[in-house]
Chains A and B, each alone.
Chain A
Amino acid sequence: MKFSAPRKAAVLTMSLALAFSATACNRGGEEGAEGSASATLALSTLNNPFFVELRDGAEAAAEEAGIELEVVDAQNDSATQTNQLATAATSGTDGVIINPVDSDAAAAAVAPLIDGDIPVVAVDRAVNGAEVGSLVSSDNVAGGQQAADELAKAMGEEGKVIVLQGVAGTSASRDRGAGFEEGIAAYPNIEVVAMQTANFDRAEALNVATNLLQANPDVTGIFAENDEMALGAIQALGDRAGSEVAVVGFDGTEDGLTAIEEGTMTATIAQQPAELGKRSVEVLEQLLAGETVEETIPVPVTTVNSENVGEFTE
């Protein structure tokens, strides 16, 4: 069979475009139960243990408070999240907890909720340009600075550093990166030789770190903007992880803490995802009861290293 070039190109473009939109399909949500107070937890993704823990914490708190909590997952797509919030608004939910896919894009999505007097609590990431009831989040900038200090300490305050960045354009990546840059600038003998994204993904970090180590074999420190990427970097380093090259991650996931116990990872900045989820439900409860709450509710981040890792693992 003979097909002209334009036809072939069109087929390729179409299949690529459709494949993209396919991953962005709206999963929608089910209606909340009538009677008791209902709330919607709109998560950016459940494809990440961090948000699974956040959800678990929120569900436990909601059960305790007698709130019917419906969880929807936007699969990291802002448009999907907008649709889900619109669905939540029309389904008569009493309150919404949003973990925005993108801080800027979420403003338009929550505006109708706020106009309709449905209280909104942002969790983990801020909603820029909208008056949400409260923001419950870890301090990512401070965390980035703590990571810089911990890495510098492990490197003897000198040497070359690689930074593995998260998904470009997310506030978590921006804030952690900014905090780290600010923090590492205090050490004049430490040079950041490469900054590349690995999209918060372990497999991608393995490849990117391997590539970067080819170009910079004398690196003695790696900062990854989350634990998954730090674990990928550790895989890339092999035996050198923890001994010759210090690796600092962010999040304090189960696998990350295990790596610290094993000595391959130097430190992580532990967020408390379950606590984030729990606090956000409690704040929403207060808002539903008509109480006033603080604009931002910080959930502390802590530096976890070999000295205190025992306190974080059960």
Chain B
Amino acid sequence: MNKVATAAAPKKARGGSQIGRFLADNGALVGLFVLGLALFIATPDFLTGPNLLNIGIQASVIAVLAFGLTFVIVAAGIDLSVGSVAALSAMGSAWIFSQGSMPGWIALIGGLAIGALSGAVSGFAVAYGRLPSFIATLAMLSIARGLTLVISEGRPIGTAPEVSFLGGDLGVIPMPIIVLVVAGLVAAFILNFTVMGRYMYAVGGNKEAARLSGVPVRKVLVTVFALSGLFAGLAGLLLSGRLDSAQPQAAVGYELDAIAAVVIGGASLAGGIGRISGTLVGALVLVVIRNGLNLLNVSSFWQQVVIGLVIAVAVGIDSLRRKNQPH
């Protein structure tokens, strides 16, 4: 498969059809442009500076969640707990600040630590407890949401100023967009330029072969889930920062958006394939659709239908394309 080859050893494509190859490899990006063009024609409100910033802000939470999830999916796992872990991290951080009376920066780091720890627990269950990642993270989905409710007693808690800063502006640039870019660069660096990142592809491609080649599979699995939790924690802090308040029901169902973003971005749920840039495009596709449907004032009943269709079409086209490629 083409992508496996490029992913396992990124080499420049030789020959003339580089543009064609780029388009074939970036189906989601093409889709995003088509979507943007359609909206540009449909409404004058779409292609404006403020609206584009707005799309960037709205994409930030889902994209950061999906970046973390990309590690897991590349390693042939799944993490269903990211939405709940995001909520738990945000609530934990707000609790440390307001109830624990700790300084804001400790609340910020504490929130991230809670996320990473929750992820690591799932990772241990997968790597050493031999639980399927689906089950381990399904358990964590429930546990983290429950703990969020326990901590908050069902009520919103105000966030630390340091966390609210993440949701504010730095000069003219919204902080969520800065966080999005930095998180994306860090994730792409880990995946492409570290040994651990390359191990993730190896484990996702063929776990047994990776083990026999001396890849520390268990360590890799714990790491991917811990990273997923860490990014989920960051997403949770972003979300609560935007609202100045950690909500007990925050990010319910976001794991589905995050999975959709990763898959639209061209990753394979079978593992071994996936890129951070693709995931970013996937998240943007979801957000642009929602933004466009709002701008066009489409009935909320139809919005869900449209989003479902786009996911099905995006992944369907990608799968067909792969199938038709010579192996």
Contacts and interface: CB of A to CB of B under 8 A. Distances in A.
B162 interface: no
B115 interface: no
A20 B138 CA distance: 11
Contacts of A49: 154-156
A2 B273 CA distance: 11
Contacts of B94: none
Nearest to B263: A12
A51 to B, nearest CB: 8
Interface of B: 1, 43, 45, 48, 50-51, 54, 57-58, 61, 78, 80, 134, 138, 141-142, 149, 153-156, 205-206, 239, 242-245, 247-253, 255-256, 259, 263, 268-272, 290-291, 294-297, 300-301, 315-316, 319-320, 322-323, 327
Interface string A235-279: 100000000000000000011000000000000000000000000
Interface string A20-63: 10110100000000000000000000111101100000000000
A203 B83 CA distance: 13
Nearest to A5: B319
Nearest to B139: A22
Contacts of A5: 316, 319-320, 322-323
A202 interface: yes
Nearest to A20: B256
Contacts of B134: 15, 18
B270 A235 contact: no
B272 A1 contact: yes
Given A5-B322, A9-B319, A196-B294, A47 B149 contact: yes
Contact of A8 (B57, B247, B270, B295): B270
A211 interface: yes
A15 B78 contact: yes
A214 to B, nearest CB: 5
Interface of A: 1-5, 7-9, 11-12, 15-16, 18-20, 22-23, 25, 46-49, 51-52, 165, 168, 194-197, 201-203, 206-208, 210-212, 214-215, 231-232, 235, 254-255
Contacts of B315: 8-9, 12
Contacts of A20: 256
Contact of A255 (B149, B245, B296): B245
B294 A203 contact: no
Contacts of B138: 18-19, 22
27 contacts: A1-B270, A1-B272, A3-B268, A5-B319, A8-B319, A9-B315, A11-B269, A11-B270, A15-B134, A15-B259, A16-B259, A18-B138, A19-B138, A19-B141, A22-B80, A22-B138, A51-B154, A202-B245, A203-B239, A203-B243, A207-B290, A210-B57, A211-B58, A212-B294, A212-B297, A235-B243, A255-B245
A46 B54 CA distance: 31
B141 A22 contact: yes
B219 to A, nearest CB: 21
Sorted nearest first, the 4 A-B pairs with minimum C-beta distance are A5-B319, A211-B294, A197-B300, A47-B249
Nearest to B76: A1
Contacts of B239: 203
Contacts of B259: 12, 15-16, 19
